[in-house]
Copies of this chain bind each other. A is one copy, B any other.
Amino acid sequence: MLPFARVTIIGLGLIGSSVARAIRRSMPTVRLTGYDASPAVRKRVAELDFLDDIADTAGAAVTDADLVLLCVPVGAIGEVAASFAADLPADAIVSDVGSSKAGVAAALAVALPGVAVVPAHPVAGTEKSGPDAGFASLFDGRWCILTPAGDADPTAVMRVSAFWEGLGARVDIMDAAHHDLVLAVTSHLPHLIAYTIVGTASDLETVTRSEVIKYSAGGFRDFTRIAASDPTMWRDVFLANKEAVLEMLQRFTEDLTALQRAIRWGDGDTLFELFTRTRAVRRSIIEEGQDDAAPDFGRQH
């Protein structure tokens, strides 16, 4: 029994196209419709052939849908939802994949009054963008967090949950504010720091750009991966989840200042104590199946 028979995906980049491919893999009888605001993306998706239909407008894409899944930057969600509101079937469920959730819930409540909305966030991705970058196994073993409002229809929540489990994900449910705090530390702050250090390294006068590139295997190259993520998506995340990001950033800065002081005063014990403690976190992540156990992420040597 499929949770949804007709799924429409709005936004066909890395995540939207991965969802489509995962549906094709795991629920091949689902009728799959898609729309992307970019004509070039729509053309490319037609070539890649992972949808049954590609619509020319968001409204045309949703007319038949059981589930409408918004896979666009969080800053665009309200506007996109408003653009198809008049065409949405009365019993359709609307969900999304945005990285911040309180703002999304508010935007969808305004754009789609009375509609069954179950916001979701599959915690998965790569640094690549666009419909060519997607793949069917992206969500396997990853967590998808649902943040339904307190008065959401339990059946709608169960169906969206079953949908993500069907795509290979594990599902958790929490309130939107807590999601935004958790993701501020596990995703948003890491991206902000990575973008910052790559910028810092690019702007030095005493060390050339070429030196930064050549000797990046000392650790820097790790940060460049997430700093290559989609700029529009990440701009929107930081603007949408401002409070939680600023709170986590304040914590981080305090801790960094403490380490700066330890280095300045030659306090090796403080450094050693932290560096020992952080090893255990890596071990837990690998035990939980949330990263590759191979050294160096399994990079090819």
List chain A positions with a Cβ less than 8 A from chain B: 99, 123-128, 133, 135, 137-138, 140, 142-143, 145, 172, 181-183, 185-204, 206-207, 209, 211-229, 231-232, 234-236, 238-239, 242, 245-246, 248-249, 251-253, 255-256, 259-260, 263-264, 266, 268, 271-272, 274-279, 281-285, 288, 290-292, 294-301
Contact = CB atoms under 8 A, between A and B. Distances in A.
Most buried by B among A201, A268, A298: A201
Most buried by B among A127, A182, A196, A295: A196
A185 B300 CA distance: 24
29 contacts: A124-B217, A126-B295, A126-B296, A133-B295, A182-B215, A183-B218, A186-B218, A186-B219, A196-B255, A198-B278, A199-B274, A203-B251, A213-B281, A213-B288, A216-B291, A221-B285, A221-B290, A222-B223, A222-B226, A224-B282, A227-B279, A227-B281, A228-B278, A231-B272, A231-B276, A234-B275, A245-B263, A246-B260, A246-B264
